[in-house]
Amino acid sequence: MSSPRTVLVIGGGAAGNAATILLRRAGVTVDLIEAKDDWNATAGSGITLQGNALRVLRELGVWEQMERSGYGFDSVGITAPDGTVLHVAEDLRTGGDELPATVGMQRPHLQRVLIDAVRASGATVRLGVRATFFEQSADNDGVTVRFTDGSESHYDLVIAADGLGSTTRAAIGIQDKPEPTGMAIWRVAAPRPSGVTRTDLAYGGSAFIAGYCPTSESTLYAYVVEAKRDRATIPVDSYADEMRRLASTYGGHWPEITAHITDPGQVNYTWFDRMLVEGSWHRGRVVLVGDAAHCCPPTLAQGAALSLEDALVLTEMLTSTEVWDDALFQAYYERRIARVRPVVEASVQIGQWQLDGVRDADVPGLMGRTMTMLRELP
């Protein structure tokens, strides 16, 4: 690219941070705004990163830090509720044979690595700031944006990476909103028992799924999936008691994990949602990436991976042409929707089979077909 470009990235999560790093590497001037003052640096318990996510993180230049601070493994165990291991399956290395199939990480560690990379890129970062107004000219030459701090700037492009509840999505006239699937998940970080060296999943028992994922040599995150409840009826100070009650019915490593579920402030409870914006992911020079465009239950652990892939594909397309127009942004959508739709549909289907009590569902087959597709480059 020879012409100077300016881009506003809204949202400092995985997709927004990745887009910022890649655009700055190409010489694009980038402003990143993040609504939260702490840049989400301490939020969350853990995250499961499949190989196709690791492939993008390697492209960002942060794979070595991830490898050091996370926990890599290549298999998943299926257990009975009492902890008996029923089957161990080798995971497909969707990022290529040179990367692990899966890395578990403490979510704040992932965010801090990406924050450091954004800072090092030379992007301008403003925290505690939101965009309040977008004005696009008739000749489609950019976007004028007003901010909550009273400032106003003009950009060649706005990338909306502001997540599930994206206010940018609504502001540009896209009416899609996330919808609950009927499931909810309790999550907590805990010390890692020495015998936990992979993800193990127990189906059935007091919940639909009870699982855990090692996130470092000393930590893991554990989760229990149940039918969604009205969050307003669950006092926040009872979160530890509620999760411990559900988890206490599981055997194997669970008693050791459950003993550490004591602080309600460390327990997270969220519903599973689904959304897939159809038709296009842009309006003029404002384009959606990540959870702002699509979300799905974590039954395939692909949320972060798809968001990172969005950022990679969009920035590759932006930096390989001088013309930023509707045709380019529509091509981005068409390239991504063909890959994202099967993942969203499979993730929702796996949960629906459990909600419906379908015992002969081909869950391994659906997972295998979807993960094989993801091994291909995005």
- Domain chopping of the chain, boundaries: 6-48+107-177+277-375
| Cβ-Cβ contacts under 8 Å for 331 (sequence gap 6 or more) | 317
| pLDDT score for 297 | 96
Whether residue 159 contacts residue 314, with contact meaning beta carbons closer than 8 Å, is answered with yes
Residue 262 structure tokens:
């004591």
| pLDDT score for 1 | 43
Which alpha helices (DSSP H) does 172-292 contain, by range? 239-247, 254-258
For residues 330 and 305, give the distance between their C-alpha atoms in angstroms, rounded to a whole number: 21
Whether residue 46 contacts residue 107, with contact meaning beta carbons closer than 8 Å, is answered with yes
Topology, domain 6-48+107-177+277-375: FAD/NAD(P)-binding domain (3.50.50)
| pLDDT score for 44 | 84
DSSP conformation letters of 138-180: TT---EEEEETTS-EEEESEEEE---TT-HHHHHTT-----EE
| pLDDT score for 2 | 53
| pLDDT score for 43 | 82
| pLDDT score for 122 | 98
Residue 329 structure tokens:
């942004």
Residue 289 DSSP label: -
For residues 274 and 254, give the distance between their C-alpha atoms in angstroms, rounded to a whole number: 29
> For tokens 């990163």, what's the residue?
49
- Backbone φ and ψ for 150, nearest 5 degrees, come out as 90, -5
At residue 337's C-alpha, the angle toward residues 133 and 51, to 5°, is 105
| Low-confidence stretches of the chain (pLDDT beneath 50) | 1
Residue 231 DSSP label: G
Residue 229: how many other CB atoms lie within 10 Å: 12
Largest CA distance in the chain: 64
**For the CA atoms of the chain, what is the radius of gyration?**
21
For residues 199 and 206, give the distance between their C-alpha atoms in angstroms, rounded to a whole number: 19
| pLDDT score for 3 | 64
Whether residue 19 contacts residue 60, with contact meaning beta carbons closer than 8 Å, is answered with no
Residue 182: how many other CB atoms lie within 10 Å: 16
